[in-house]
């Protein structure tokens, strides 16, 4: 890796994760300025020369007190534009959590397709590549962008976590809905390979309309087993909660859940504290700042995704293979 031709920036809300990625790369974060004006406008600019450099910008797109996802997206767009105007050779947007990825198709008349709109905004300011982790709908993400994209997965992080902790029970991997079956199946295959023994599968019936979730049937055998629920994100936690309860009713001996992104809005504290759930695992694509209860924090494990992003940046910079990094064919 040639550090002289590489610049790594992390906008303020993602600085902690950016510093971890930089530490994994052996590369310090480059300096930049973020300034707010009295009327709510802002500017962001690099404070180092980026002419001819390959630049990576880290920004997780989630809302938090004082800054909405819209604020963060706007700051990211302006910063990428400033980098391109400063003659950066290429700019890769590293988006550990990609906001607006859930509305990826029209389900009602005249619905927006915000995944595609965000892609168009990023491309309009000159983004050359996008890297993200476990998007809600991979096909929609890949089809929304015209620039190259790299999709990373937390699957192997979860495999190592559970392989070291749930060894004495037969395991079954549970998808909380039909749409997540492929994600769950990929995790099940990787876990079975890691443990060198078969792992069962199950999925939960789920319908959603106007924000209301229904469906209670659990398909698959979980009785006497350790059930591992796999999803891409936990928002209010309702999907995980109803799946955990269904597993318990069907006789699961223990129930665990894993999701790449812990958003934790609404009454998520209550969901995580639910006795139907033994443990919950997320990554640090965004901090679990909405969880306050000590009981909740004791049940929650946050895995570090920084080395995975660092390896991806290294692969891109050196012309390596992301496929090899993820262990896929």
Catalytic residue numbers read 206
Annotate 48-72 with three-state secondary structure: CCCECCEEEEECCCCCECCECHHHH
Distances (CA, A) of 177 to 208, 211, 242: 10, 15, 11
Helix/strand/coil for 37? coil
Helix/strand/coil for 17? helix
Q: Using CA atoms, how far apart are residues 274 and 292, in angstroms rounded to an integer?
A: 15
Across the chain, the runs of DSSP E, i.e. the strands, are: 6-10, 32-36, 42-46, 54-58, 90-95, 129-133, 149-152, 171-175, 200-204, 207-209, 212-214, 218-219, 226-234, 254-262, 279-283, 300-303
With tokens 């979980």, the residue in question is: 222
């Amino acid at each position: 890796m040639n550090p002289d031709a590489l610049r790594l920036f992390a906008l303020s809300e993602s600085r902690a994760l950016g510093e971890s990625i930089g530490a994994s790369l052996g590369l310090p974060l480059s300096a930049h300025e973020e300034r707010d004006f009295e009327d709510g406008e802002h500017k962001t600019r690099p404070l180092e020369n980026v002419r001819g450099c390959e630049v990576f910008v880290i920004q997780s797109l989630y809302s938090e007190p004082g800054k909405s996802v819209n604020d963060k997206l706007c700051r990211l767009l302006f910063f990428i534009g400033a980098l391109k105007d400063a003659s950066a050779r290429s700019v890769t947007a590293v988006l550990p959590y990609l906001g607006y990825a859930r509305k990826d198709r029209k389900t009602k008349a005249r619905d927006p397709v915000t995944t595609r709109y965000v892609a168009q905004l990023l491309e309009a300011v000159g983004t050359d590549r996008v890297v993200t982790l476990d998007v809600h709908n991979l096909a929609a993400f890949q089809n929304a962008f015209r620039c190259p994209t790299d999709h990373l997965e937390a699957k192997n992080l979860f495999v190592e976590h559970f392989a070291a902790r749930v060894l004495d029970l037969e395991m079954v991997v549970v998808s909380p809905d039909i749409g997540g079956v492929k994600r769950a199946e990929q995790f099940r295959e990787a876990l079975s390979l890691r443990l060198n023994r078969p792992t069962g599968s199950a999925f939960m019936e789920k319908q959603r309309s106007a924000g209301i979730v229904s469906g209670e049937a659990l398909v698959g055998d979980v009785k006497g087993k350790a059930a591992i629920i796999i999803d891409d994100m936990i928002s209010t936690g309702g999907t995980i909660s109803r799946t955990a309860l269904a597993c318990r009713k069907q006789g699961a001996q223990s129930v665990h859940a894993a999701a790449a992104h812990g958003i934790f809005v609404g009454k998520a504290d209550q969901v995580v504290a639910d006795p139907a759930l033994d443990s919950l695992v997320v990554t640090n694509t965004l901090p679990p700042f909405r969880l306050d209860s000590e009981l909740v924090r004791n049940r929650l494990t946050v895995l570090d995704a920084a080395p995975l992003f660092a390896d991806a940046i290294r692969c891109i910079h050196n012309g390596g293979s992301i496929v090899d990094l993820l262990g896929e064919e």
